[in-house]
Amino acid sequence: MRTAFLLSLLVVTGCVRLPSAPSLTGDDGARLGLVPSGGAQAPLELSLSRHPGGEAWRLADDRGSVVLLDVWATWCDPCRESLPFYEDVARQFGARGLKVYAISVDADAAVIAPFLKDLKLTLPVLHDPEAAVSGSTLKVKQMPTSVLVDRRGVVRRVHEGLSDDYFQQTLTDVERLLAEPAK
């Protein structure tokens, strides 16, 4: 019974490794890659608590930097694969203006530290119990979900799940956003 429940939960939450998934979600769903920077897109307003101290974090404070947000949970197996990648991306591009944050949606904050220790992760972690903010603000429906935000605070790419080409596409998109002039 427990195995069936867990399998159902993984399917419902999307916490599965997908063979291929679109890297952009939108009304038409037809486009892949970065959303063009022009247009009337408003900057994303997002506030969460830092883990473990609970200090306030606001995305607006990172304007001028490219920001990669990864929404994950300790019970998500693909997240175990993607989080070390984000750690490497943060090291590789941090000096050029990239900030990476891991947003845990675990209800119980006590499970986060052992998980991070197990994976040897040092990424800054934000806590969003049960996706209260991520679900409404970022429209997160499955784990992992990554969101790339440009220097103006505008969401330029959302990727749900983990696909075969995801890691290379993310590196390409990060490079493109870092190359864009700050406005």
> Pairing relation of β-strands 56-58 and 125-127?
unpaired
Q: Does pLDDT of 50 surpass 60?
A: yes
| Parent domain of 108 | 50-179
The structural domain count of the chain equals: 1
**Is residue 23 in some structural domain?**
no
Confidence of residue 23 (pLDDT cuts 50, 70, 90): very low
**Is residue 86 in some structural domain?**
yes
Residue-level pLDDT at 35: 65
- Please name every residue paired with 146 in a beta bridge, in sequence order, or none if there are none: 70, 159
Confidence of residue 121 (pLDDT cuts 50, 70, 90): very high
Backbone angles phi, psi at 125, to 5 degrees: -115, 135
CB 87, CB 167: distance < 8 Å: no
Q: Does pLDDT of 31 surpass 60?
A: no
Report, as an integer, the average pLDDT of 95-120: 96
Residue-level pLDDT at 1: 35
Q: Does pLDDT of 39 surpass 60?
A: no
Report, as an integer, the average pLDDT of 33-52: 76
CB 160, CB 84: distance < 8 Å: no
Question: CATH no. for residue 113?
Answer: 3.40.30.10
Residues found in the chain: 183
d(CA 149, CA 69): 8
Q: Does pLDDT of 8 surpass 60?
A: no
Q: Give the pTM.
A: 0.81
Residue-level pLDDT at 36: 60
**Is residue 42 in some structural domain?**
no
User: What tokens does 34 get?
Assistant: 């970065």
Tens-digit pLDDT profile for residues 67-96: 999 999 999 999 999 999 999 999 999 999
Amino acid in position 73: A
